[in-house]
Amino acid sequence: MSHEGIRIVSAEQAEREAAPEVKLPSAAVTPAKVKVMKTEGTGVEIAWKDGHVSKWTFAWLREACPCATCHEARDADGRKPGVAKPQPASLLPMFKAPVRPLEATPVGKYALRFKWNDGHESGIYSWEYLRRLPEGE
Ligand SMILES: [Zn+2]
């Protein structure tokens, strides 16, 4: 596989590009409680300090991976974060193991990093990124 033409962007840059201009208040981007329902295999629920609760399924979060590679792949197809790449209709659906994280680890105080069961682990989901993500299934 050729890596020519891949634009390397820093996590900060990718985040800036994905994020609208408006600065969110710190209570909106500070989690009070983070639930990663690894055992149940369902998803992530974050209760923010401002009282809002956000929920996403693992599959959705995986498709919203903020790393440069996933970001570019979505850009190329015009997909929004969380939207899976459409499967060609003519092909039989491929079996895919349900997406779930093998590990979810905090990155400093600002982000969460998932090690997905498909081997991917380069996405760092900052609280700010997560708060701005639409909720999804
Ligand atoms: Zn990624």
CATH (domain of 33): 3.30.2020.30
pLDDT at residue 85, as a whole number: 86
Q: Indicate whether 113 pLDDT > 60.
A: yes
Asked, for residue 108, whether it belongs to a domain, the answer is yes
**CA–centroid distance, residue 62 to ligand 1 (Å):** 8
Tell me the average pLDDT across 48-77: 96
Q: What is the pTM of this model?
A: 0.77
Can you spell out the DSSP letters for the chain? ---TTPPP--HHHHHHHHS-SPPPPGGGSSEEEEEE-TTTT-EEEEEETTS-EEEEEHHHHHHT--SHHHHHHHHHHTPPTTPPPPPPTTSPPPP-PPP-EEEEEEETTTEEEEEETTS----EEEHHHHHHSPPB-
Asked, for residue 6, whether it belongs to a domain, the answer is no
Q: Provide the β-strand partners of residue 75.
A: none
**CA–centroid distance, residue 47 to ligand 1 (Å):** 24
Total count of domains within the chain = 1
Asked, for residue 2, whether it belongs to a domain, the answer is no
**CA–centroid distance, residue 116 to ligand 1 (Å):** 10
**CA–centroid distance, residue 114 to ligand 1 (Å):** 10
- The domain of 72 spans 11-84+95-132
Asked, for residue 110, whether it belongs to a domain, the answer is yes
Q: Indicate whether 3 pLDDT > 70.
A: no
Asked, for residue 5, whether it belongs to a domain, the answer is no
Asked, for residue 101, whether it belongs to a domain, the answer is yes
Share of the chain above pLDDT 70, in %: 80
